[in-house]
Amino acid sequence: MKFDTPATTNPIDQLKVIGHATSRIEGPLKTTGRATYAYEWHDRAASAAYGYIVGSAIAKGRIASMDLSRAKSAPGIIAIVTAENAGKLGKGNYNTAKLLGGPDIDHYHQAVAVVVAETFEQARAAAQLVKVDYTAAKGSFDLSAGRDGAAKPPGRGDNQADTTVGDFPGAFASAPVQLDATYTTPDQAHAMMEPHASMASWEGDKLTLWTSNQMIAWTTGDVAKTLGLPKENVRLISPFIGGGFGGKLFLRADAVLAALGARAANRPVKVAMQRPLMFNNTTHRPATIQRIRIGAGRDGKITAIGHESWSGNLPEGRPETAVNQTRLLYAGENRMTALRLAMLDLPEGNAMRAPGEAPGMMALEIAMDEMAERLGLDPIEFRARNDTQVDPEHPNRPFSQRQLVECMRIGAERFGWSKRNAEPGKQRDGRWLVGMGVAAAFRNNLLMKSGARVRLDGQGRVTVETDMTDIGTGSYTIIAQTAAEMMGVPLDKVVVRLGDSSFPVSAGSGGQFGANNSTSGVYAACVKLREAVAQKLGFNSAEIAFTDGQVSSGNRSVPLGQAASGGELSAEDSIEYGDLAKTHQQSTFGAHFVELGVDVATAEIRVRRMLAVCAAGRILNPKTARSQVIGAMTMGVGAALMEELAVDKRNGFFVNHDLAGYEVPVHADIPHQDTIFLDETDPMSSPMKAKGIAELGICGVAAALANAIYNATGIRVRDYPITLDKLLDHMPDA
């Protein structure tokens, strides 16, 4: 189905199932331990051996020699695979560094071997006996040192390294009120609960991989490319995923090493990446240095806005596109953005929840707060004065929907923003300095082709099959709701099967594009199935209703299942998009409000209240959407207050590479979180009229905290995370 004109009324608008706060249909499986995760397919391969990964001890250089003799004679050992004996390996389209290193080493903890043994403990013990001699080379590990040598990265489509509109330098220089500030965000880890894990089984030259992956089609292709197999010989199965956040968008070492280990062992092998390896072996959100310049008139109107961002990556890696939002979020006739990329020998930087906007909004929304203060304006009023209903770079291109100001105003009222003391450092509650902060939320809505197959059986049961994944987001549930709405059946008549490469290719989970696109693909397939049902039942009218398990037109009503009485009916289709995203800018908007306390003696920061107001098209399921948003808000608290991969700049690795060292918020850090979804439908986005929400929820949160810390203490910190040591010297006497 081609979606190239704005959506009109369709069966989804009935909202009998869609739009209802429905609990996850797979929830009972998860809460009772019956959802099968990648490492747990015991019945499929009871004889599976265990692989344990050996990571490089250096960040850059070469393996001079490897001595496997002691490891090979260890108890239970079955095979050891290294680059030397693995055979020729390709590199996936979505990988920057090789997943099995050697002899060249590209980064710390890059896999250099997988040790396969009868038991996990034997594999782990033998892995310690693999002796590797390295010749280390000098590497570059410091973004700030590499900043001046950073190069202009190649552009991709509309995303060019440099953008300019009007005369930014002139307008900024002549602006009566100016801000020129530099902000930094650190490297961050996805730190999802389930580690990267895979189980591999070969039958001849056909490979089945049970894995934990967000993007089945990308990864199936990259498995084939890496192992030199035809794509049709690779089957990926990934129905349940214990968190991803972008860390599982790609083929990673666990899957490649499980496949190589299984081939060498001649039996199924499973590999779960050990936690201490995850932080340096896999991808992370790269650190940024961001310079923001804003010029405005005394009327509070922005006349010039410029945003430059520096990040680093391995050769062939891409920049963190932290300037994305600045091209679209606020008005201003004179604009510029620039991305620069330094070559670093740290592990691969790549997508993490809201790549681009998450770190970009961390900086921009502090800058807006600073600028509002210089102008003597309330930060909400300042943003409202610079609202734009059109793409500021292309004023003839409107936003499909844009309720940023509404989000801020409604949020202000709900949160009690008027009680905020605009003068910082004045609100005291016992030993706490109390402050409130606000930030805009912004994240683009992405359209991706997405397919599904829908089957109907004689009992009127509908089965949906798509390679879409559920990374804890609620995909199962919203897909079931879509099919139920379209086919006029209750939810319990719908079966959803996901995450299998033998199913039609979907958008997958990433970039908050999963929900809108995958349900639109299901919508398209259901439209086709409805046609097949109508034809089978001999309905000729265009006015056919699918309700309560019946198909009816005029006076005639037939049970839906009857269409499949002679055999199952099946329909498959994809949603594909025309030019609506070119003629209309599609983005999601919101406002984040935070109240927190800063201990007057220790400068410990503790969040008290949070509110997110979101305008993101139709909310398909308010319950799962809320879960997404409060999870993202939690991650935003982590980004603001504690998350940082600490770089050892001498030896080139992230030092705090486990969950004791890489702190993320725990229950005690997260207070009451409130969410409001504005009633919105976006006919430009899809037949579902929905947009993404899961990444909107993180964009701006950290800045709202930073602004609240400023309001509480009068201390402006521009370097994340905002830890107490950055406040302490500036705190008032306790």
Partner 1 sequence: MKPFTYEKANSPAAAASAAAGRSNAKFIAGGTNLLDLMKLEIETPSHLIDVNGLGFDKIEPTSDGGLRIGALVRNTALAADARIRRDYGLLSRALLAGASGQLRNKATTAGNLLQRTRCPYFYDTNQPCNKRNPGSGCAAIGGVTRQHAVIGASDACIATHPSDMAIAMRALDATVQTARPDGSIRDIPIADLHRLPGDTPHLETTLTPGELITSVTLPKLVGGTHIYRKVRDRASYAFALVSVGAIIQRDGTGRVAVGGIAHKPWRVEAAEAEMPHGAKAVAARLLEGASPTKENAFKLSLVERTLGAVLTEAKG
Catalytic residues: 695
Least separation, in Å, of the C-beta of 78 and partner 1?
18
By CB under 8 A, tell whether 602 contacts partner 1.
yes
Q: Strands, E, within 227-296: which ranges? A: 234-237, 269-272, 288-296
Nearest to residue 644, comparing CAs of 191, 250, 145? 191
Q: Which of 90, 651, 681, 716 binds partner 1 (CB under 8 A)?
A: 651
Q: How far is it, in rounded angstroms, from Cα 230 to Cα 147?
A: 42
Nearest to residue 10, comparing CAs of 371, 482, 431, 409? 482
Alpha-carbon distances of 731 from 74, 182, 217, 598, 713, rounded to whole Å: 58, 22, 53, 10, 7
Least separation, in Å, of the C-beta of 579 and partner 1?
47
Least separation, in Å, of the C-beta of 723 and partner 1?
6
Cα 356 → chain centroid: 11
By CB under 8 A, tell whether 729 contacts partner 1.
yes
Q: Which range, of 445-453, 482-490, 661-669, 685-693, touches partner 1 by CB under 8 A? A: 661-669
Q: Which of 611, 641, 688, 705 binds partner 1 (CB under 8 A)?
A: 641
Q: Which of 423, 566, 668, 679 binds partner 1 (CB under 8 A)?
A: 668
Per-residue x/- track, 581-600, partner 1 (CB under 8 A): ------------------xx
Least separation, in Å, of the C-beta of 472 and partner 1?
22
By CB under 8 A, tell whether 542 contacts partner 1.
no
By CB under 8 A, tell whether 343 contacts partner 1.
no
By CB under 8 A, tell whether 125 contacts partner 1.
yes
Per-residue x/- track, 59-88, partner 1 (CB under 8 A): ----------------x-------------
By CB under 8 A, tell whether 429 contacts partner 1.
no
Nearest to residue 318, comparing CAs of 290, 281, 288, 358? 288
Helix (H) or strand (E) holding 479: helix 475-487
Exposed, middle or buried by CB within 10 Å (0-12, 13-18, 19+), for 732? exposed
Q: Which range, of 227-235, 481-489, 620-628, 642-650, touches partner 1 by CB under 8 A? A: 642-650
The DSSP bridge pattern shows strands 587-599 and 605-615 to be antiparallel
Closer of 381 and 604 to partner 1 (Cβ): 604
Are the C-beta atoms of residues 174 and 312 closer than 8 Å to each other? no
Residues 6+ away with beta carbon under 8 Å from 569: 455, 456, 529, 532, 533, 536, 563
Q: Which of 431, 556, 582, 672 binds partner 1 (CB under 8 A)?
A: 431
Are the C-beta atoms of residues 268 and 262 closer than 8 Å to each other? yes
By CB under 8 A, tell whether 723 contacts partner 1.
yes
By CB under 8 A, tell whether 138 contacts partner 1.
no
Closer of 139 and 521 to partner 1 (Cβ): 139
Sign of CA dihedral 384, 386, 391, 396: positive
Closer of 144 and 389 to partner 1 (Cβ): 144
The CB-side HSE value for 413 (13 A sphere, CA atoms) comes to 6
How far apart, in Å, do the first and last CA atoms of the chain sit?
Answer: 65
Q: Which range, of 297-305, 359-367, 659-667, 710-718, touches partner 1 by CB under 8 A? A: 659-667
- Assign 84 to helix, strand or coil: coil
Q: Which range, of 43-51, 313-321, 696-704, 718-726, touches partner 1 by CB under 8 A? A: 718-726
Q: Which of 57, 87, 188, 680 binds partner 1 (CB under 8 A)?
A: 57
Helix (H) or strand (E) holding 581: helix 580-583
By CB under 8 A, tell whether 136 contacts partner 1.
no
By CB under 8 A, tell whether 257 contacts partner 1.
no
By CB under 8 A, tell whether 719 contacts partner 1.
no
Q: Which of 647, 701, 704, 706 binds partner 1 (CB under 8 A)?
A: 647
Full DSSP string of 325-350:
GGGTSS--SEEEEEEEEEE--SSPB-
Q: Which of 128, 174, 266, 541 binds partner 1 (CB under 8 A)?
A: 128
Calculate ∠ Cα 15-613-481, nearest 5°: 25
Q: Which of 35, 384, 491, 646 binds partner 1 (CB under 8 A)?
A: 646
Least separation, in Å, of the C-beta of 73 and partner 1?
14
Closer of 429 and 729 to partner 1 (Cβ): 729
By CB under 8 A, tell whether 142 contacts partner 1.
no
Least separation, in Å, of the C-beta of 121 and partner 1?
6
Q: How far is it, in rounded angstroms, from Cα 609 to Cα 604?
A: 16
Q: Which of 545, 642, 678, 716 binds partner 1 (CB under 8 A)?
A: 642
Least separation, in Å, of the C-beta of 666 and partner 1?
5
By CB under 8 A, tell whether 46 contacts partner 1.
no
By CB under 8 A, tell whether 184 contacts partner 1.
no
By CB under 8 A, tell whether 193 contacts partner 1.
no
Q: How far is it, in rounded angstroms, from Cα 224 to Cα 219?
A: 8
Full DSSP string of 368-418:
HHHHHHHHT--HHHHHHHT--SB-TTSTTSBBS---HHHHHHHHHHHHTGG
Cα 697 → chain centroid: 11
Least separation, in Å, of the C-beta of 733 and partner 1?
9
Q: Can you read off the two tokens belonging to residue 363?
A: 């900086």
By CB under 8 A, tell whether 152 contacts partner 1.
no
Least separation, in Å, of the C-beta of 109 and partner 1?
9
Helix (H) or strand (E) holding 709: helix 701-713
Q: Which of 20, 72, 124, 449 binds partner 1 (CB under 8 A)?
A: 124
Q: Which of 387, 406, 648, 674 binds partner 1 (CB under 8 A)?
A: 648
Q: Can you read off the two tokens belonging to residue 655?
A: 């030092």
Binding-site residue total for partner 1 (CB under 8 A)? 42
Nearest to residue 688, comparing CAs of 4, 2, 10? 10
Least separation, in Å, of the C-beta of 250 and partner 1?
25
Residues 6+ away with beta carbon under 8 Å from 372: 378, 379, 381, 382, 383
Contact residues for partner 1, defined by CB under 8 A: 57-58, 75, 121, 124-125, 128, 276, 431, 599-602, 604, 606, 641-642, 646-648, 650-651, 655-658, 660-661, 663, 665-669, 721, 723-725, 728-729, 731, 734
